[in-house]
Structure 1
Amino acid sequence: MEGFLDELRNFTDMTTQSSIVDGFLAISLTFVLSMIITFLYQKTHKGARYAQSFIHTIVIMSMVVSVIMIVIGNNIAVAFGLVGAFSIIRFRSAMNDPKDIAFIFFGMAAGIASGLGFYLLAILFTITVSIIIYFLYVIDYGGGQSVQKRMRITIPENMHYENVFDETFNEYLHDYKLTNVETTNLGTMYQLTYMITTNDNVSDKDLIDAIRQLNANLKVSIGMANPD
């Protein structure tokens, strides 16, 4: 009986050591792959809002998911228990760029594959998807469409704005539409709001400089049509 118990203890120790080794390999591989993913994110990020905390989130979440998959293994009861435990978590931070969500799932997928022991699959998956993402970034796939912007022009009260900018707009803009007219500066000035689409190779500075020559060098602002 004692010999059987000793063998059982040895088997349990070997199983525990094996799990620890597998877990260490999975976490280490996940960390390396998540670093590759976050490096790619930094290289291909185009948005104005860049957050270092988001980079750290991808790395941490990938490693946490890897550990979760190791813990779950083939145990269905543990899987349901973890689902119930994590269901109380609420994520209240809205994503500024839809591509950020894709990178989160990218890191999670690499963590899941590593946690389940599919190390080669995790490596091939990360390398292949990274190449595809960088290729899309280099060729600027889907970026050929013109971006609609909102332009606000301040003019003196005595200026007739109906046709004063038409010649300049036809030269610099592909499309434009006056959407709002309001008084400003205690009624001494007007502010015109246009929705515009600029021609190719036309910078905002060139357009602003041309308008300033017509509106007595008053304020001109250009921004995205939907900054959110």
Structure 2
Amino acid sequence: METMFASLTSSGITVSSFLICSLVALLCGALIAFTYTRRTRFTQSLVLAVILLPFAVQTVIMLVNGNVGTGVAVAGAFGLVRFRSAPGNAKDISVIFVAMAVGLACGSGYIALSVLFTVIACAVLYLLVFFHIGADRSGEKELSITIPESLDYTEVFDDIFKEYTTHAELTEVKTASLGSLYKLHYRVHLADDRNEKEFLDALRCRNGNLEVRCGQPHTPVEQL
């Protein structure tokens, strides 16, 4: 069992060892990318990067081959690279780090270890996404209501909120259409999500069928 986790390149780099490491790196990268695209948003550029990154890192590690000076030079070269695309979120960066770790393992010749690590990382990633670990389950919604200036917005919807919500908080008021309209923004918790349409219909009847919007609360884009 221990020999399975021995380095394939411990006795030197050969053409066969390079091809085996490269193939495993590409397959592991493809598996990570495939898992990442399940039940989550993704872009083609990120998928291609995750597939190729283990192979690229593996090749660099093989070229360094334990030479500290070369390793420092390569690290400095990579430090000069600036990504011109929009910054990724924390999940994207985490997947990139996983792909880099696989490339490091393959470049060091630890084929079995890289495959085992990939399988465990993909399984954990899929389960975390599948069970919505860390997702916001507070049930809070952001409500926007447009009313004519003739309505007093301070108490006009209190009875509707009392019937359909457990909590409603007015967070912002602003005027529109040269002051002829008011736009009200609330944070609400619905008592029963199944009554959302009935709730919106009641609001439309009260505000003269002007615009009513209800959705998930706006949160800043997560970046690293």
- TM-score bracket for the superposition, by shorter chain length: 0.7 to 0.9
CA distance in 2, matches of 1:157, 1:105: 54
Of 147-156 and 23-32, deviating more is 147-156
Q: Which residue of 2 aligns with 1:214?
A: 206
Q: Which residue among 10, 14, 18 is the counterpart of 1:19?
A: 14
* Mapped pair 1:226 → 2:205: no
CA contact (8 A) 2:164 2:195 kept: no
Separation in 2, partners of 1:69, 1:192: 58
Shift of 1:227: 4.8
Between the aligned partners of 1:162 and 1:219, the Cα distance in structure 2 is 18
The higher-RCO structure (CA 8 Å, 6+ apart) is 2
What pairs up with 1:178-193 in 2 under 5 angstroms? Answer: 178-193=170-185
Amino acid at match of 1:26: C
Alignment correspondent of 1:36: 31
Relative to structure 1, the CA distance from residue 91 to residue 147 in structure 2 (aligned partners, 3 Å threshold; closer, same or farther) is farther
Report the CA distance between 1:187 and its aligned residue.
Answer: 1.5
Q: How does 1:1-228 map to 2 (within 5 A)?
A: 18-45=13-40, 47=41, 50-143=42-135, 145-146=137-138, 148-199=140-191, 201-202=193-194, 205=197, 207-223=199-215, 224-228=217-221
Cα contact 1:95–1:101 (8 A) shared by 2: no
Aligned AA for 1:160?
A: D
- RMSD between aligned residues: 2.4
Shift of 1:137: 2.4
Question: How far did residue 70 of structure 1 move?
Answer: 1.1
- Report the Cα distance in structure 2 between the residues aligned to 1:83 and 1:144, rounded to whole angstroms: 38
Deviation at 1:221, TM superposition (A): 2.3
Normalising by structure 1, report the TM-score: 0.81
Q: How many percent of aligned residue pairs carry the same amino acid?
A: 32
Displacement of 1:153? 1.0
Matched-pair contact (CA < 8 Å) for 1:31–1:62: yes
The amino acid across from 1:68 in the alignment is: V
Q: How far 1:128 moved relative to its partner?
A: 1.2
C-alpha displacement at 1:126, in angstroms?
0.8
CA deviation map 1:24-45 (0-9, x unaligned): 2112111111111111111131
> Residues of 2 paired with 1:211 and 1:110: CA distance?
54
**Does structure 1 retain, via aligned residues, the 8 Å contact 2:144–2:214?**
yes
**How many residues are aligned here?**
210
Structure 1 residues 96-146: Cα deviation after superposition (integer angstroms, max 9, x where no partner): 532111111111111111111110001111111211222222322233631
Cα distance in structure 2, aligned partners of 1:164 and 1:120: 67
CA distance in 1, matches of 2:69, 2:51: 28
Q: How far apart are the structure 1 equivalents of 2:198 and 2:125? A: 33
TM-score (norm 2): 0.82
1: CA distance, partners of 2:98 / 2:180? 55
Q: Partner residue of 1:6?
A: none
Residue aligned with 2:19, SS = helix
Aligned amino acid, residue 167 of structure 1: D
- Asked which structure has the greater CA Rg, the reply is 1
